[in-house]
A and B are shown apart, each in its own frame.
Chain A
Amino acid sequence: MARGISPTRRVVGALSTYAILLLVVAQTIYPLLWVLFGSLKSKSEMLNNIWGPPLSIHLENYTQAWKTAGMASRITNSVVVTACALALVVLIATPCAYAITRLRFPGRNALLALIVASMLVPPQVMTIPLFTVASDLGLINSRLGVALIYAAAIMPLSVFILRGFLLTLPVELEDAARMDGASRLNVLLLIMLPLIRPGIALVTIFAFIEIWNDFFLAFLLLRDPAVQTIPLGLVSFFQQYDSLWNLYFAALMITTLPVIILFTLMQRQFVAGLTAGAVKA
């Protein structure tokens, strides 16, 4: 380490680093704490005690928000749509990525080029035709239909990520199995699948956050309140009862907290996957 700098300056430097970081963290975390506090206050306390923690805890806000916002059916819809889409992505992208990486077949390079090219086309620019295609196929207000479209939109990136993981595995492993007479499918299921589990986990986490939080496609395709997902429910709850702040904050907490907890538990894997993808590229 350098000798030129005095210890006092070093301490001042470190202190200012932490001071700025605390400020940054305050502006990311305090708004969320504010929502948590607000979700536990009575309506009058919301106006009198804007900043601080609740003086008395009103847990009934949560039960009331749960009922008023129709939370049970929204959560069910979000779970159904997200689970179907994730299952489709993993089941369909994995064999496709394996074939593109390891098998020789006519059109392989063209297919890879198509996948890379489609990553440059944001699906939002074809919103209108996507709506007409879904409408022709009878997929408006269909949870499975929306799941299919999510899966298709996220497919190119998923295949690309999985291909990256497959490329790092040695070919000798499967060659040995092939010599012993294993079929391609067996090689994929018994040898490759366990080895690319981190890749599949990464694809699943990304797709989960993307689909679970999505408002736009759901807004476009799920018009009937009975099939709407959580983000749509939050917006319509807000538009109908915009004076019931405390209930609204409770609804926001119910839907946001599980994702934050999930992320906190998986932070290490998530950040590792994210940075491996971005910095190596």
Chain B
Amino acid sequence: MSSSPGRMKRFVNGDGLPALLMVLPALCLFAVFFIWPFARGFWLSLNKWDGFSQPVFVGLANYARLTSDPLFLKALGNNLIFVAAILVLKNALGLGLAMLLDRAVIGRAFFRGAVFVPVTMSFVAAGLLWSWIYNPVFGLLNAFLDSAGLSFLKQRWLGDASIALYAVIAVDVWKWLGFHAVIYLAGLQALPSELYDAAEMDGAGPFRRFLHITLPLMLPVIFINTILGLSGAFVRNFDIVYVLTQGGPNHATEVVMTLMMKRAFQDGAMGYASAMGYALFLIVGLLSVGLLALMRRTRLDV
């Protein structure tokens, strides 16, 4: 550092000192609880470590092991199904619900508030509520199917390996639908109504108006909703899976986060578990960058 007296003086007389004082607390907190663990986790992922004894450096062996670990690949596969399903469902149903809210001029605030209520619940509360709804013996869902004369549709919702993952996904969509609907509603309300009037004059039906006006104009909002949801869809599923199924039955609902916690705290494979976290980060990062690039290109085309 060249600390000539003139430079030092400028620093003190200018904004340097107050800026330092204002930024320093945030920087300290951030360095200790964000940057340090981030760097340390990468180092851990290159080691074999049980959490107690001396770590042993193994290079990329943990990452190599990931690619041939059937359980990790299964969890990653489930994770991808989870992400794809909730992104599609939240966007499609969120936009649909927003269009209904947009048309409901009377009582809109009530309906908007009512669909938003699950968003304010914790994952734990939502998960526990739904574990009762899904309960095969006393649950609301099977009772409802019985009284609707649809008893043949009754299931062990969380106990059947072929449908448990979708039952978990449904809870996540239920919890977040209102959030996306509210954002889409704001987007819809910003659209110019003249376009719709003109299209109606030209005899375009509701479906064509949706396809040629609403959808193209809403594309930026759809992208924002997807970007906002993407990394969360990958990593914010531990609570709900843990509460509903703990990853079972027979790993049918195992996702990377739940497997990572089991490896770290049940098997003491801290290095390997760290590698799982970073592999997930890499996948999320690449997808986000890809999506952002796509977003930029599409905007140019529009």
Contacts and interface: CB of A to CB of B under 8 A. Distances in A.
A155 B140 contact: no
B101 interface: yes
A215 B281 CA distance: 21
Interface string B77-100: 000000000000000000001001
B138 interface: yes
B80 to A, nearest CB: 16
Interface string A254-273: 01100110111001000100
Interface in B1-60: 14-16, 18-23, 25-27, 29-30, 32-34, 36-38, 40-41, 44, 51
Interface stretch (B63-71, B148-156, B160-168, B270-278): B270-278
Contact of A105 (B15, B117, B203): B15
A47 B135 CA distance: 13
A92 interface: yes
B26 A93 contact: yes
Contacts of A128: 41, 44, 260, 264, 270, 273-274, 277
A122 B200 CA distance: 45
Interface string B248-272: 0000000001001100100000100
Nearest to B131: A238
Interface of A: 1-2, 4, 13-14, 17-18, 20-21, 24-25, 27-29, 31-32, 34-35, 46-47, 50-51, 88, 91-93, 95-96, 98-100, 103-106, 108, 111, 118, 120-133, 137, 148-149, 151-153, 155-156, 159, 183-185, 188, 209, 212-216, 219, 230-231, 234-235, 238, 245, 248, 252, 255-256, 259-260, 262-264, 267, 271, 274-275, 278-279, 281
Interface of B: 14-16, 18-23, 25-27, 29-30, 32-34, 36-38, 40-41, 44, 51, 97, 100-101, 103-104, 109, 111-118, 120-125, 128-130, 132-133, 138, 140, 143, 174, 177-179, 182-183, 185-187, 190, 197, 200-201, 203, 221, 224-225, 228, 231-232, 234-236, 238-239, 242-243, 257, 260-261, 264, 270, 273-274, 277-278, 280-281, 284-285, 288
23 contacts: A21-B101, A28-B178, A29-B114, A96-B26, A105-B15, A118-B34, A120-B231, A120-B285, A121-B34, A124-B257, A127-B257, A128-B264, A129-B37, A130-B37, A130-B41, A133-B32, A148-B33, A213-B121, A213-B124, A256-B122, A267-B112, A271-B116, A278-B183
Given A96-B27, A99-B23, 15 more contacts: A2-B201, A21-B111, A35-B129, A105-B16, A105-B19, A125-B280, A127-B261, A133-B32, A133-B37, A213-B125, A215-B239, A252-B125, A259-B121, A275-B186, A279-B186
